[in-house]
Amino acid sequence: MIEATHLTKRYGATVAVDDLTFTVAPGRVTGFLGPNGAGKSTTLRMILGLNAPSGGAVTVNGVPFAGHPRGLRHVGALLDAQDIHGGRSAHAHLAALARSNRIPPARVDEVLHEVGLAKAARRRIGGFSLGMKQRLGIAGALLGDPPVLLFDEPLNGLDPEGVRWVRGLFRRLAAEGRTVFVSSHMMAEMHQTADHLIVIGQGRLIADQALEEFAARDTSLSVTVKTPDLAALTDALTAEGASVHQETDEVGRVTGLTAARIGDLAHQHHIALHQLTSETSSLESAFMSITAASVDYLAGEAR
């Protein structure tokens, strides 16, 4: 797992990362979410030992990354897919990485196949689209078969099929018990990608919780329920602090509780549920309202 304690990074007067303490656990996909300039890339670079913290510390499986010999076998990372030598072929690039990390050369063809670049393996990277470079960056992260994987904005430039593939890949890596930490500045991207969220704004921790709990922090988020006994369900839910707006005899719109909690309460009270639907579109608004105060660069009118 990844453990940051009071992690801080200053650039002159700018505090890019401000006293961050969090843990990224194995076996699930953790989204690292924050508006532009929030400090995500700086944090990832400190996890990898590429930037030295100004204060605090971060370890991977209890050891600072620099203390892991043959790094790619311990942590695989995609930081900037564009930051790559364009004159080489994909195969040559990965073969060089494999050599310097003492990874068997046969892994190169395996990962190229896995990311869908087998046919482009001998082509110059300079001619690759951004989506292909993202796939190559992901191949590099997978090369050492590491237990911990970091991805900085991995969905950038991918077409819808690519996005679906990446999501499936992250799920599988997490199901294999690995630690998967994925940054994004877009809540909507995280919605089908992450199980857990670490949200930062202006370098500070805003939230560290399950995606569904984070979404429920937006009080405008609602869950639609349909039940033959709406009156009894309304009583049970309001007793827990929710409010229920009756839409028809059997349908109500609930705010203030997650769908999971509503389902559990219905079960406890022996109330049949015929529908239970979260209004997921407002995840974006949860993110916007919770991070609004910490956004550095609000565009003109919104400021």
Ligand X SMILES: Nc1ncnc2c1ncn2[C@@H]1O[C@H](COP(=O)(O)OP(=O)(O)OP(=O)(O)O)[C@@H](O)[C@H]1O
Collect all residues with Cβ–Cβ distance below 8 Å to 232 and sequence separation of at least 6.
269, 271
Residue closer to ligand X by CB (options 159, 296) is 296
Residue 43 beta carbon to ligand X: minimum distance, rounded to whole angstroms = 7
Residue 248 binds ligand X, judged by CB under 6 A? no
By rule CB under 6 A, what string of x and - marks binding of each residue 27-56 to ligand X?
A: -------x-xxxxxxx--------------
Residue closer to ligand X by CB (options 81, 143) is 81
Beta-bridge partner residues of 124: 89
Residue 146 binds ligand X, judged by CB under 6 A? no
Residue 16 binds ligand X, judged by CB under 6 A? yes
**HEC per residue, 90-140:** HHHHHHHHHHHCCCCCHHHHHHHHHCCCHHHCCCEHHHCCHHHHHHHHHHH
Residue closer to ligand X by CB (options 40, 167) is 40
Rounded-to-integer distance, Cα 111 and Cα 108, Å: 6
Residue 162 binds ligand X, judged by CB under 6 A? no
Residue 50 beta carbon to ligand X: minimum distance, rounded to whole angstroms = 11
Residue 60 beta carbon to ligand X: minimum distance, rounded to whole angstroms = 19
Collect all residues with Cβ–Cβ distance below 8 Å to 191 and sequence separation of at least 6.
211, 280, 283
Residue closer to ligand X by CB (options 37, 71) is 37
Which DSSP string corresponds to 63-88?
Answer: B-GGGSSSGGGTEEEE--TT-S-TTS
Residue closer to ligand X by CB (options 39, 147) is 39
Among the listed residues 9, 73, 96, the one whose alpha carbon sits nearest the alpha carbon of residue 65: 73
Rounded-to-integer distance, Cα 145 and Cα 230, Å: 51
Segment interacting with ligand X, rule: CB under 6 A, options 9-17, 229-237, 255-263, 276-284:
9-17
Q: Is 48 helix (H, G, I), strand (E, B) or coil?
A: coil
Within positions 166 to 195, which residues make up the interface with ligand X, using CB under 6 A? 185
Residue 288 beta carbon to ligand X: minimum distance, rounded to whole angstroms = 15
Residue 42 beta carbon to ligand X: minimum distance, rounded to whole angstroms = 3
Count of residues in contact with ligand X, rule CB under 6 A: 12
Residue 9 beta carbon to ligand X: minimum distance, rounded to whole angstroms = 8
Residue closer to ligand X by CB (options 95, 207) is 207
Residue 14 binds ligand X, judged by CB under 6 A? yes
Rounded-to-integer distance, Cα 219 and Cα 221, Å: 5
Q: Quote the DSSP letter at residue 194.
A: -
Residue 18 beta carbon to ligand X: minimum distance, rounded to whole angstroms = 10
Q: Is 165 helix (H, G, I), strand (E, B) or coil?
A: helix
Count of C-beta atoms within a 10 Å radius of residue 79: 18
Residue closer to ligand X by CB (options 108, 197) is 197
Give contact residues for ligand X (rule: CB under 6 A): 11, 14, 16, 34, 36-42, 185
